[in-house]
Structure 1
């Protein structure tokens, strides 16, 4: 294998590594375990509100630190080093969930928030390495490869964990509750093991590195400069606004789907099965969307995915049976990786060379700031209306607004402006 291909596959395998957290913890067991084990004595609507606040708090922390961390990483030329730091934070906090007992929902919340910060912070620097390891002409395909491997890897470890919870005695475990706690530990170990390739085989270009304190001082100045650059790059700025809105809807669906299913009376086993379906459908679909991006363009691919999401959200208000949730899981699996991977590769085209971590700091900031508003909005509307079905409808407005702004982005002008930007 050539050095370039080895770097691409090593980079993509970090998605395989940390998607275990996204699938097993964020989308899968944490919402269920939080509601049925750590918050067993808390009313369902109240625990939904707590879950929304927890996710929003974690995202808010990422919002506040992402831009400055990106600027510091660019100054120091150490994107991979920052990736390691945040990955370690996420790994340790995820593993620590194993030791929590029933009723400890407050401590579980704190550990989960720290784990999400580690996961999201690591993704900032992982994304910033994409233009380092991939030429622009293949960035759609490489971005999709990462998401595709993420779905496959996350699905495999999730399937193993589901098997453990359904048959705990086969694994010498006392019951399904202990199996879920072991799943958190397995996720941490999986994340650690498959993070090694990106650390060993992805190499950043040599830059003049400066001391940490000087980098921090320069970063605050550069942060202000970058913000002015983004405002000057009108099409990049417009894309970021569109992304902020539509990814809000997408992330909220990912984070709140299991809680929504539980709240309308579906069995947790059915919800876990639906998540597994999404993962394994998502693997070939994400790869396929990379091809779609090359054929019809990133924007058209994203708009196609958003149209599907809008239809799914509207239909979800009326579901009452497990088979309907399975159907939605298949449909979401077809487009979820596509909207994520094509958004990332489209953004790569709209940012200046040499400022990848810095600009991805703003990209991740907006994505996570959206995740502050989305779950909190759903949680508040659910709490005020007393209906989870009404709460979930708020997502449609975010998806529609994001699609509208995306249509207004002049991609050709945006790419030319990014090329002409001087460092």
Structure 2
């Protein structure tokens, strides 16, 4: 029997790397549309009324639909046993439905992201897995076009599926970073990817907001315009994913089980080994905890910015939407600027400086006056400058302190620390609101996350962590 020829060596020349890097950037451009258009702006405000319509049809059939929706709170106050929707046998208030499916999506990501990462590393088929996860998510997002009337469960299932596929695809996507860039290139590559993601997400959101605001002149109902906007995010995601799938290349991995079932089993065993071996990399674990803390502050501030604008500052939706758009485009330049600062002053120093700025920005929340849109815009502008850079450089740093051949598994742990820790910041905001009834104090309470994260990151000996993971220490870190 003839012996099969060994696989041809991959071209790892600078030109070949740059070609892959340009393709890699496009996945940030592709998937950011889903996060900005669907998650950040349209789905929650649309899906809750859909659930409310289902509750109206079920419990108040004699009340006209528009009146029921407008007077829903009064109707359920007068009929406390009514006004629920059924979710797998449980009675759920329509207002709580979006929060419920978001919680389910996060829980499933915590369970499945490590498996996706282990499978990517174990099989070496990262490009195929990236495409598979991306197109499942994109098709689910396009399916949101059919969520109308009382189809709240369809919307919930599609959102959970899209969000789960999105998270799995990000794990695989991030794991390409150390394979397509040298240690010296990594800050710049990560920053450019993050910046291009903000630009792509912002561009589609701008187009969708034009469609939404002009829906009457275009002969569209408001709900129809929203459904088109959400479906367009899936179409954008699917279309631009073609570019990285054409450019990225799989790397060879050690021999492994050949069947799909055995590969999944092998992935589970490899994941178990990774979790147990994490004790061998205490500085990597310390960085992961530092990131968990300060990124929780970042995500909580962003997640509560709209509520802060409406509740504390009494600003209308127009101001909130235009601020979101501004953040997308300013963050593009901010990510590139902080990437440049990292090349000059070092990545760790730049991230630490960004945490100082985050602390100062959040502390100013107590001084922003009610009704002052300009002050809110200035605060959003300052956040946008540090937002993309903080996240992009953190991704770059993490890629330096993980062992080769286990990139997807470790990046799944980074994603889990991102998703799984989100409740800590939310709980802090909830407690602050309960004690003070002030969104200003609630936002200012995030200072503790940036301070603790700063201290933990400052204590992390990154050169030692990089050497312990078996990697080359860059000239500037």
Give the corresponding residue for 2:242.
Answer: 196
Is 1:129 aligned to 2:142, yes or no?
A: no
Q: Structure 1 residue aligned with 2:32, among 12, 16, 19?
A: 19
Q: Which residue of 2 aligns with 1:411?
A: 462
Report 1:15-414 matches (<5 A).
15-34=28-47, 53-101=100-148, 107-170=154-217, 172-207=218-253, 208=255, 210-211=257-258, 212-264=260-312, 265-317=314-366, 319=368, 320-321=370-371, 322-375=373-426, 377-378=428-429, 382=433, 387-414=438-465
- Determine which structure has more spread, i.e. the larger CA radius of gyration: 2
Q: Deviations over 1:52-91 (max 9, x none)?
A: 5544432222112122221121111122222222212321
More divergent stretch after superposition (136-145 vs 106-115): 106-115
Matched residue of 1:163: which SS?
A: helix
Partner Cα separation in structure 2 for residue 113 and residue 398 of structure 1 = 28
C-alpha separation in 2, matches of 1:108 and 1:315: 38
Q: 1:118 to 1:262 in 2, by over 3 A?
A: farther
Q: Distance in 2 between matches of 1:149 and 1:255?
A: 21
Output the CA distance in 2 between the equivalents of 1:292 and 1:360: 24
Query: d(CA) in 2 for partners of 1:107 and 1:396?
Result: 39
- 1:209: Cα distance to partner? 5.1
1:107 Cα deviation after fit = 5.0
Deviates more, 1:278-287 or 1:248-257: 248-257
Structure 1 portions without partners, runs of 5+: none
Deviation at 1:114, TM superposition (A): 2.6
8 Å Cα contact 2:51-2:97 kept in structure 1: no
Q: Distance in 1 between matches of 2:438 and 2:100?
A: 17
Taking a change above 3 Å as real, the CA distance of residues 65 and 262 of structure 1, as seen in their structure-2 partners, is same
Aligned length: 418
How far apart, CA to CA, are the structure 2 residues paired with 1:148 and 1:232?
Answer: 34
Q: Flag the 1:105–1:381 CA change in 2: closer, same or farther, 3 A.
A: farther
Structure 2: runs of 5+ lacking an equivalent = 1-13, 53-68, 74-92, 473-477
Q: Report the aligned-residue RMSD.
A: 2.7
Q: Distance in 1 between matches of 2:203 and 2:128?
A: 28
Secondary structure of 1:71's partner?
A: helix
SS of 2:356's equivalent in the other structure is: helix
Distance 1:34 1:388 in 2: 25
Q: Which residue of 1 aligns with 2:76?
A: none
CA offsets per residue over residues 210-240 of structure 1, 9 Å max, x none?
3322222222222222122222111101000
C-alpha distance in 2 between matches for 1:332 and 1:126: 25
Taking structure 2 as the reference length, the TM-score comes to 0.80
Name whichever of 155-164 and 198-207 sits farther off: 198-207
User: What per-residue deviation string (whole Å, max 9, x for no partner) do you get for residues 298-340 of structure 1?
Assistant: 2222122222222333333554232222112211110111011
Q: String of CA shifts for 1:241-295, please: whole Å, max 9, x gaps.
A: 1111111121223333234434443221211100111011111111121111222
Bigger drift between 87-96 and 354-363 goes to 87-96
If asked which structure has higher relative contact order (CA below 8 Å, sep 6+), I would say: 1
Q: Quick one: structure 1 residues 253 and 50, their matched pair in 2 at CA, closer, same or farther if it must change by over 3 Å?
A: farther
Relative to structure 1, the CA distance from residue 405 to residue 414 in structure 2 (aligned partners, 3 Å threshold; closer, same or farther) is: same
2:16 counterpart residue number: 3
Distance 1:53 1:250 in 2: 22
Q: For the residues of structure 1 that align with 2:434 and 2:131, how far apart are their CA atoms?
A: 39
312-321 vs 142-151, which moves further = 312-321
| Distance in 1 separating the partners of 2:40 and 2:117 | 27
Would the aligned equivalents of 1:55 and 1:375 in 2 still touch at CA under 8 Å?
no
Cross-structure match for 2:89: none
TM-score, normalising length: structure 1: 0.90
Task: Indicate how the Cα distance of structure 1 residues 99 and 69 shifts in structure 2: closer, same or farther if over 3 A, else same.
Answer: same
